[in-house]
Structure 1
């Protein structure tokens, strides 16, 4: 194959390789000596030029401009120039070696391309790995936030449940305490009533101011009392200007008795009198029991000494007591004198 002609020798001089400068890069090649003077075989010259250029064996060539080299044709390399067949075989071997060396010299371009592609792939792989790590961290953060929110909600619900349970417990304890107090009060009232009824039924007398005393079918209105305000006492505490009854001061809950047999014609709230029971006796006399804390009967007939209510402090009062009034024909009379007339020692 022909290439561009070599410039004239006047440009930088003609160069002919020698045996020392035309050494092959690898392997061993025979260098045929010239026959008849300085002329060398075209085959050996071509192989030497290829080997020298491929191996970069001449240092001065790097400092000079590139020039075109005339290459012999393939037929010349294979059998031209009057060389023997053995020389032709050596030329073919040299061409193959040169081609291999040329391939080795140009193989750097694909290898460089492969290295760049590998670097690019490593960069992309590293970027993907970093992106995966970022996404994994984001998922972990989201899961941690969700767990923290769920834990906070659970704590809030548990605290609310604890508060409700505590409120229910306090309410239950309060209700139980109130029930126990009510049961105790009821039991005390029942015991007091039973004791009073037993004493009245036996007709016992414990003396003035300390118990009930029956006489001719009549009984004192209460027991364990102290007389505090008598009938007719003047004062601004009473709307009429004077006291219209007799006060028996006693603890709240003390039983109140019927002074004689009769029927209950009124029972309920009566303003300044508080809770009041009106007992009408057989002769028409009315006995008023005022400021009661409770009423055992509200209608019907009762016998002398029967419990009809409890001492209290309802209405217009300054303390627990029984206000007893006795009325005949609609007018009040002195309860103390009336009780004495019935044989009762008040």
Structure 2
């Protein structure tokens, strides 16, 4: 009971922090950049949004949700896209309400997929595989953002450019090594020895290779046969999310350029990992606005409007949408349960 009430208190506190960060976003951005802006000015920008722009953002948002269902269907063979959309929406809603909502989201996923007849083992594998692919691409995104800026010639000097290329390529190489090790047994053995060497160097009292080989054994079958579908699902999901940000930038007058928009998008996805608030709400908006203003010279009002609008499409709207998905699933489950209970014994025996 104490843990339950502690979790509730932490959740309320975390949501409160997120609300405060959004409410005082103009003041926070002013403190970070020195650029004054008011909510009235931000509201004026929102007032200029047209129906066509909102419809475009809505379509891109729905396409991003659909793209991610392919990550889930490839992680759990037998799952269809509608089911994937339902568990994605419901899990996102929970994660967006709780500071550590990922665990609760997994519980919701288990309840839904078990109700559809999947085994606990296959659900665990789906959770691991989708989590691994999300983590890999979360590492890849900053490298992509750095490369985009460097390719566009946005580095201030050669030293910074060289450091950027070195860092970006190192991140990509690390991600490739991990991905190959998950697929290829010989590479897994080499990586396991490297991990053990690192743990010995750090004097840690556990065998990292054992944990890695267990993870690989749990996920090897899906990774070997479905890595391409998983990767394409993540690529299209992130591409549509970037397109949402680009649409927000154009609609508010904050477009800084293609390379810059990719860098801002990469930062936004990294900041969603902040655990202070659910899905980094408030923190993401502050970081996006500060980067647009300080690094790319975007005026404060359009920058903040972009950050808030993008936060709406990638965070806020997922809560009611996920609630509707969860409610529909519960309603259908209850109705199916009543129908099964009302079915006459003769019909049951014939069905068996």
Task: State TM-score, norm by structure 2.
Answer: 0.21
Computing the radius of gyration from Cα coordinates, the structure with the larger value is 1
Task: State TM-score, norm by structure 1.
Answer: 0.21
More helix by percentage: 2
Higher relative contact order (CA 8 A, sep 6+): 2
